[in-house]
Every structure is written in C-alpha cells, then in structure tokens.
Amino acid sequence: MYIHQLENKNECQIKNLTKMEKIIENLKLIKDTMKDVRMYCHAANLLEFDQQTICPSKAMEQQGEIYAFLLNKAFVLQKDPAFVQAVIHLYDHRTEIEDKLDCVMVESLYLDHLRGKNITSEIQHEHSLVYNRAFVNWLSAKNASDFSLFATSLDEVREAQLKEESLNEARKATPYDTMLDYHECGITCSDLDETFEECKERLIPLLQKIKASKKKIRTDFLGRTVPEEAQRKMSEFLLKTMGFDFERGAYSTAEHPFTSGLGKFDARVTTHYYPNAFYSSMFSIIHEGGHALFEQNQPAEDFEHFIEFNKTMGMHESVSRFYENRIGRSREFISLIYPKCKELFPEVFHDVSEREFYEAMNIVQPSFIRTEADEFTYTFHIIIRYEMEKLMINGDDSGNMVATTDLPKIWNDKYEKYLGICPTNDRDGILQDIHWTTGFGYFPAYAIGNMYNAMYFNRMKSEFDLSSAIKSGDFNTINQWMKNHVWAHADQEDPKTWIKNITGREFTPHDFLDYLEEKYGEIYDL
C-alpha cells in the first residue's frame, strides 16, 4: 500500500517526501540525543546543588571530578558526527521545518555547534576541572579574605574563557562581546556602554541629593536577633504567599543563596539565615522564589525542545528582581506582610511601624556587598563589574591587558569613585561573588533585568490594578499575567524582540530610571 501510494506521486512529490522524512528522522535523532544530554546535565546540576548546600568540604574536589565527568559525557554526545550532521542538515533546511519550536531548537543547537565545534573533548574536560578548582580556591580565598589564593585560578579561568572565545565560530566584535552574547543574545558592549552612561548621568546626581537629604530613616531594629527557626517559618510563608509550588520545589540553605533550576518538576531555592539580619533571608528567598516561579511556570514545550536557558539571563534576573524589588520592596507588599512580621519576629517589630519597616527596606546606603545592596545603589555594583570584566577581557582603551594582581586595587578605586566607599578587605571586595569561577559576562544581566522588569511592570499596571493585587496578596493574577506575557516566549525569542512583544516598545532604561527617581524622591522628600 505504501509502495502503491509512492507510484502515484510524481518525482517531485517523491523528493519532497524524502526530504520531509529526512527532516523528521533528524529531528528524532537530535531529540533522542538531547534527552540523554539532559540526563547527564540534570545529574551534574544536582551535584552542583549538593556541593553548595550539604557536601562536606573534603569531598568537594572528588564531587567536582564527577561533575566534570558527567558534563564531558554530555559534551561528547553533542560531538557525535551523526548528531552534528543532523544539526547542520536541519539548520540548512530550517525554513522547511513545520513546527516553530523545532526551528528555534535547531537554530539554538546550530549556534551551540558554531560555538563549540573547535573545542575538543579534552579541552572541555580540562576547562571543567579549571572551573571546579577555581570554585574550591575561591572558597578558601574568600574564607581567608586573601585574593592571592584565588589569583592563579582566576588567571586560569580567564585563559580558558579566552581560549573558548578564540575557538568560537560565532565570535562577535570583541572577546567580551562574544561572552555577553552567550548570556544575553544580541546585546553588545556598545549597547551597555550607552545604557550605563544614561544610568550614571541620572543616578550619580540623584545619589548626591539622597546623601544630602535631611531625611532620617530608622535602622536601629535591623540588627535585632531573630532565631533561625522563625526565619525559616518566614521563608516558608513568603514562598507560599508568592505561589511557589512545594510539590515541585524545595528550599534549603547555602552560603550563597541561589536557585537550582532542575526543570518544571524541581525548582530549588536556597537562602542563608543570619541571626542579626532577619531581612537578608527574607529578600533572598523572594528573589530566588522569583527564579523558581519562572521555572515552575515555563511552557512545557520549552523543555520538550531543550530551549530552556536559551537566549537571555537578563530575563531570568528581571523576574527574580521583579519579585524582590518591584513587588517585595513596595509599600503594598510591606503592608501585606507586616502583620506576619509582627507575629513571627515580635522581638524586632514590637516598636516598628509599617512605614518605618518600608523605609528601612529601601534605605539608600552605599555598601560593599552586591547581593545585600539596596535597590538604588545596586546598579553601581553592576557597572563596576561590567567595567572590570571588560578590562580583564578586552584590555584597557589602548588594548593593554591588566595584571591579575592589580585587580583588587582597581576594584577598590572604582568603589571609591562611584559609591564613595573603599573595601577594607578582599572578602568584602573583589572576592565576594562566585561568578568568576566559571566565566565572565553574566553580571550585566542583573542590571538589564531591572530595566526589563521596569518596562513590563508599567505594562502590567496598565492592564489591571497591580497595586491592589499586591496589597491583597493576589499572586494568582500577577503570576498568571507573568505566565501569559513574560514567561510564554522568554526562551523562544531574542531578548530585544521578546521585550518589544510584551511592551510594544524598544528596550530602554528610562522606565527603570523614572521609577527610581519617583520612588526615592518620595522616600527622601526630594
């Protein structure tokens, strides 16, 4: 019967069928392979989660080796000639692929192919070990507050990253542009230079005004002791309030709060409980909870097409910082959670009003640690990181490379210049963040994320009464809007296209800067 049908077709039809069959066959091949790739990556990600939450110190190196081993297996699968041939064939015929997401998947895999085709399994495995060693050494260096213990590893990471860049066949104008593109597809140094210039122009004078303001904000209650158990209950309350699904997620503690996105069925958030800084775990859990909400609400077809974490980390950070700042630090949210704060932390809140709590959560205070910075000065931390990374990767304006040993001084000088403070030790300075143990180009995503969420916040506000929704804890409405507009195509489109499709406007930092001016003008009576 099948033969009979063929006989009735003309040659062209036969060719078409064959071509379509080939496409279907190749799509099946790459999906089957990617399923195995994901198994290895999932196991590796779980090892990483474990390493940052419970793994004993002396087991870390061994576990790092297993992590590298698994990632290498995943890498090798994607190097298989049949797989590579299928990707190239499908890319060449991408206009003939019927399913839109199959096409996105193919384009994404082809880009991966261009980025990685010259990286051998040996290089990949060696670099995995470099990054893991860097993590272990960074941890020791940070504990000892001694940059020199991390300097060699940082050099190794920089070399590894530059080598990967030089082998990348989808290179951009400069090495740092290539690294940016990896995290935020289509964003360049020139975009960021312009954006950050605008930020500096408006935020530096505003910071001066805030510093000069006579406004007194109470902070005396922030250091009051809160037992871990009460903080844990607060974390659970906040996650529940936000709409976090505990059957498809978990929460734990870690030295450095993070989210482990293990897929739709498993989004794990972590926080850290400081007895004398109760608010720290509150806002880190809201931030990480935001990441997790995205995971739990991402379209199932993103997973089926292996395109999660595809094009934009800025989108991810926009979501976490949307929940942390635009919602979490709003008057409405503070009003929503204030009764619970009084109930769980009576030792803190017995003499603190709602307004005092709101102001303290929004006090502008230049400080050393990015993750604990207020919403206003936060952008300066990112600008500093961006300038440091560009310098480390592209060299200075004359293209001269900077010595790793000079980095702490450069770092400290920039804090002096932008924020008027100078770190007195490496732990509070250049060693504070884990990111440089795996590479460069991620930090701008945090600042871009703030700009994305300011844009979609305004859009959301125009569609329903967001203020009332927050105040009444109606996260169902908020999360549903996020699901339909922000999350539906987040990993399917370029970030520039994505934000335009949500808001109807081109990417701009203006919404974010307007918001800061308005909010902090009110708080500081400017």
Strands of 249-253's sheet in order across: 249-253, 267-271, 259-261
Q: Which is nearer to a copy of itself, 55 or 101 (CB)?
A: 55
Rounded to the nearest 10°, the torsion over CA 78, 79, 80, 83 is 50
Distance of CA 428 to the CA centre of its chain: 21
CB of 341 to a copy of itself, least distance (A): 21
Q: Which is nearer to a copy of itself, 253 or 458 (CB)?
A: 253
Residue 420's CB is within 10 A of a number of other CB atoms, namely: 11
Is the alpha carbon torsion for 174, 180, 186, 188 positive or negative? negative
Candidates 288, 324, 375, 389; catalytic one? 288
CB of 66 to a copy of itself, least distance (A): 5
CB of 306 to a copy of itself, least distance (A): 15
Q: Which is nearer to a copy of itself, 248 or 459 (CB)?
A: 248
CB of 436 to a copy of itself, least distance (A): 26
d(CA 372, CA 196): 21
Q: Which is nearer to a copy of itself, 297 or 412 (CB)?
A: 297
Task: Name every residue whose Cβ is closer than 8 Å to that of residue 81 and which is 6 or more positions away in sequence.
Answer: none
Q: Are strands 259-261 and 267-271 parallel, antiparallel or unpaired?
A: antiparallel
Residue keyed to tokens 């740092």: 176
Question: Which residues sit at the interface with a copy of itself, rule CB under 8 A?
Answer: 36, 39, 42-43, 46-47, 49-50, 54-59, 62-63, 65-66, 69-70, 73, 227-229, 246-250, 252, 262-263, 265-266, 268
Residue 92's CB is within 10 A of a number of other CB atoms, namely: 11
Q: Which is nearer to a copy of itself, 44 or 90 (CB)?
A: 44
Task: Name every residue whose Cβ is closer than 8 Å to that of residue 334 and which is 6 or more positions away in sequence.
Answer: 354, 357, 358, 361
184 part of the active site: no
Is the alpha carbon torsion for 213, 216, 220, 221 positive or negative? negative
CB of 249 to a copy of itself, least distance (A): 5
CB of 266 to a copy of itself, least distance (A): 4
Q: Which is nearer to a copy of itself, 24 or 54 (CB)?
A: 54
Residues identified as active-site: 288
